[in-house]
Amino acid sequence: MKTSLPRLVRNHRPTTFLRILTHSPRWSSSLSQRPGAAGVTFPGAVNSKFTSALTFEHPSTYPAIPTYRCTSPDGHLIDSTILPCPDALALAMYENMISVSIMDLIMFDAQRQGRLSFYMTSQGEEGTCVGSASALEKGDVVFSQYREAGVFVQRGYKLSDFMAQLFANRRDGGKGRNMPVHYGSKELNIHTISSPLATQIPQAAGAAYALKMQRLQNPDLPPRVVACYFGEGAASEGDFHAALNIAATRSCPVIFICRNNGYAISTPTLEQYRGDGIASRGTGYGIDTIRVDGNDIFAVREATLKARELALKDGGRPVLIEAMSYRISHHSTSDDSFAYRARVEVEDWKRRDNPITRLRKYLENKALWDDEREAEARTRIRRDVLKAFGDAEKELKPPLRAMFEDVYEEMTPEIRAQMGELREILDTYPAEYDVGEFEGGKDSLEK
Amino acid sequence: MPLIARIYRRGITSSRPLINNVFNIQTSCLYSTLPPNARLNIPTDYSTTPLLAHNSQSALQNPELSPEVRNGTTKRMNLFQSINDALSISLAEDDSVILFGEDVAFGGVFRCSMKLAENYGSERVFNTPLSEQGIVGFAIGAAAEGMKAVAEIQFADYVYPAFDQLVNEAAKFRYRDGAEGRHVGGLTVRMPCGGVGHGALYHSQSPESLFTHIPGLRVIMPRSPIQAKGLLLSAIASGDPCVFMEPKVLYRAAVEQVPTASYTLPLSKAEILKEGKDLTIISYGHPLYICSAAIEKAEKDFGISIELIDLRTVYPWDKECVLKSVQKTGRCLVVHESMVNAGIGAEVAASIQEDKETFLRLEAPVMRVAGWSIHMGLLFERFNIPDVARVYDKIKQAVEY
Ligand SMILES: Cc1ncc(C[n+]2csc(CCOP(=O)(O)OP(=O)(O)O)c2C)c(N)n1
């Protein structure tokens, strides 16, 4: 049951079925049933044994998939097989995690004060994001859901980039079109976030197939994978199913990273699924799968490093990582999570197990960190966040014209005419609209 | 009656063994019997219709083709063969083109991808699992990373599971990426659409107007093999995601001489198929043949001349061409197969009355001939889809108004 499909195939039916895997459609009929065979060669399950015992497979009799951890809660490496991560990287990851958490606190409050329209924090999940991103190469393509600020920071997204997007100013790559937290960066190979849940998962499979094809056609290109993030709630969408299945059948080099943080807004996992989390689904699709402790940044990093290797092996294949954590924050600034969970539960998680404190202990054990450095870093980062915040808030908004552009590659006559109509309205009713904050005022609406 | 005999024979001879054509669509004329006294509702004779190029000379005189193409050769093709030709050309011309969907590898249930997997490799032409949302999501991702992804939805009736991916993702990709500049212009989603006589609820639909409400997509429907090839090559080359709808009743029925070279036809540009001065008919896809037959009768009976416009791209559509024509004729009807409610006709009619200059020239209300606002019940298709009698009758109403 635990053996993945491709492995079974390689062990037992080397030629015929592999041909099917390489997508020659006509050979399925050559799988014939030999009389007296102990196994079934139905084309739909080539390695199944006959049994005369009428038994159902009960999920409860399967042990839960274990959770990989390589750092103890007091910060000691407990997996002797892994090489310690370079000190500089460990320090950088630590600063990146606290950057996200400091930015989260400041921006959450700023939203509460009405200075931006919306925000989502990622408290408790900094480890999953920073750790996995640290294992990717710069050229790897990332698709994310929205709670992955740590991925952005780790790949080099700057505070000014975050703030430009959050305040939708004229430096925002999204030209002020997207809600806050919908970051994206071509330079960093991270696709722009969209609100519809799980839509990025089949896209990640297709993108991975593109990378694989491009390398097939030009072997000089460096090997690349796609990493795709989503929550356990999003994994209930049809797109999750579609994605894992097509990624497996087309052997796409993609790492699916599920952040299982226990809640989808107010919905606890008990109402989200009844199987063994998301990881148990992976093997059903024929996908190599691991569950890791998301509060253990090194466990996430090691798992992602291995996953990346696996994903590129033998022409490519998908890998699923389920990172377990707890959503310490409210779902978003529009949510008060104490309406559906106890405050003590949250406080408990915050104190008891937390990716930031675990890495801090590791660094302190190695004498790379202490209270003084902690205070210095926090003061510095706080100052940098506030500076970027202030600058972004003051900045002009994108030109109004950006509202009409990029719907199509070229503006259609219909859209051009409508832009002209808006311009006339602004000319006729100048008192009704404030266009002062937009770069170029209403003049940008010139046809 | 020789005509019936001819159509009957054609129906028989062109119905291939099922293995070749999983969804045998050419038998439709066997299901509908021609009423003995019919003068208008006579099945289209595709071998004589003026809408198809019956010789290579007429195929090559199209001024939209480049001089080199016009000096080239032609080949007799039906619609599925011309689509196959276009797909083959695009795979040959551009390594970044990939083609996939359900049952595409063996040639497709309508034969549109025949021999392509053999010729271009199973990496570039392949089957996907049976999941429309997966197909379109996968295609968007591949296009976002620089491939030209040509995805097939087996029937337009089954595109709805992929609706979210098309509406929220493909259509908005460029807009939301803004200055970052990424897009899915390489995406083309092909789907057979429309009635075939016996497709009932789920093998007959034409959901084009559901896509025309989505800024960001181009929605295209060809009427003939020449168009299918040129417009499909344009769709694949286009920098915008395209929904390419293929009237499946024409796959085998519409045969004409098609230029063998690679060529494109302009998107979002209508084509005036026939000039006239008393009335304009605007349509696209299969009903153009019905319109053409109705025009022939109406012009004779009422002594008028009718202009026939093929929209080709139903969104963003060529408003200018339509308005100019209606300004000239003052009368207009819009004909389409899909339901009348909120259909393409509604948008065209509203745009005509909204244009101040055109409104003043109108001598009759803009009229619509379209499917009734119902579902396609198996037995009732020929009473549901616009036919020659219904188009003829609306022409009469418009002229007599
Ligand atoms: C298709 C879709 N349905 C519903 C929503 C509204 N929504 C936004 S976030 C969310 C919960 C997602 O939970 P999960 O995937 O577990 O991620 P988490 O917020 O816990 O990180 C919901 C229901 C949406 N954005 N998209």
SS3 A251: coil
Catalytic residue among B102, B169, B183, B203: B203
In one-letter notation, the amino acid at residue B107 is G
CB-based burial of residue A384 (10 Å sphere; 0-12 exposed, 13-18 middle, 19+ buried)?
middle
Inter-chain contact A184–B185, Cβ cutoff 8 Å? no
Chain center to CA of A133: 9
Q: Is residue B3's pLDDT more than 50? A: no
- pLDDT tens-digit profile of B19-67? 344 555 544 444 456 788 999 999 999 999 999 999 999 999 999 999 9
- pLDDT tens-digit profile of A283-298? 999 999 999 999 999 9
- pLDDT tens-digit profile of B263-301? 999 999 999 999 999 999 999 999 999 999 999 999 999
Distance CA B120, CA B20 (A): 21
Distance CA B108, CA B100 (A): 10
Distance CA A161, CA A152 (A): 10
Instruction: Determine the average pLDDT of the residues in B107-130.
Output: 98
Q: Sorting pLDDT into bands at 50, 70 and 90, what band is B12?
A: very low
* Residue ranges of chain B that CATH labels 3.40.50.970: 56-259
Distance CA B12, CA B377 (A): 25
Give percent of chain A above pLDDT 90: 86
SS3 A79: coil
Q: Between residues B14 and B73, which one has the greater pLDDT?
A: B73
In one-letter notation, the amino acid at residue B106 is F
Distance CA B210, CA B314 (A): 11
A284 touches chain B (CB under 8 A): no
- pLDDT tens-digit profile of B54-75? 999 999 999 999 999 999 999 9
Residues 6 or more apart whose CB falls under 8 angstroms from that of B25 comprise: B110, B196, B197, B248, B249, B251, B252
Q: How many CB atoms lie within 10 A of CB A342?
A: 10
Q: Is residue B16's pLDDT more than 70? A: no
Q: Which of A265, A322, A329, A349 to mutate to test the pocket of ligand 1 (most atoms within 8 A of CB)?
A: A265
The answer to whether A290 and A303 have CB atoms below 8 angstroms apart is yes
Distance CA A319, CA A225 (A): 11
Using CB atoms, pick whichever of B133, B168, B316 lies closest to residue A202: B133
How high is the pLDDT of residue A74? 93
How high is the pLDDT of residue A417? 97
* Residue ranges of chain B that CATH labels 3.40.50.920: 269-400
The helix, strand and coil proportions of chain B, stated in percent and rounded to the nearest 5, come to 40, 15, 40
Q: Is residue A34's pLDDT more than 90? A: no
Rounded to the nearest integer, the mean pLDDT of chain B is 93
CB-based burial of residue A223 (10 Å sphere; 0-12 exposed, 13-18 middle, 19+ buried)?
middle
pTM score, two decimals?
A: 0.93
What superfamily does domain B56-259 belong to in CATH?
A: Thiamin diphosphate (ThDP)-binding fold, Pyr/PP domains (3.40.50.970)
- pLDDT tens-digit profile of A176-220? 999 999 999 999 999 999 999 999 999 999 999 999 999 999 999
How high is the pLDDT of residue A46? 82
In angstroms, what CA-CA distances link A249 with B140, B200, B295? Answer: 18, 33, 52
The residues that bridge with A255 in the sheet, in sequence order, are A227, A319
In angstroms, what CA-CA distances link A316 with A59, A66, A141, A310, B32? Answer: 30, 25, 15, 8, 52
Question: In sequence order, what DSSP letters do the residues of B251-289 get, joined into one string?
Answer: HHH-EEEEESS-----TT--EEEE--SSEEEEE-STHHH
Distance from CA of A47 to the nearest CA of B (A): 21
- pLDDT tens-digit profile of A240-262? 999 999 999 999 999 999 999 99
Residues 6 or more apart whose CB falls under 8 angstroms from that of A279 comprise: A65, A258, A289, A290, A291, A320, A322
The residues that bridge with A267 in the sheet, in sequence order, are A264
Nearest partner of B207 among A415, B137, B31, B217, judged by Cα: B217
Q: Is residue B7's pLDDT more than 60? A: no
CATH of segment(s) B269-400: 3.40.50.920
Give percent of chain B above pLDDT 90: 91
Using CB atoms, pick whichever of B106, B134, B176 lies closest to residue A178: B176
Residues 6 or more apart whose CB falls under 8 angstroms from that of A376 comprise: none
The residues that bridge with B313 in the sheet, in sequence order, are B220
Q: Is the CB of A202 under 6 A from ligand 1?
A: no
How high is the pLDDT of residue A36? 72
CB-based burial of residue B366 (10 Å sphere; 0-12 exposed, 13-18 middle, 19+ buried)?
buried
Q: Which residues of B touch A20 (CB under 8 A)?
A: none
Tokens at A176, concatenated: 């002020």
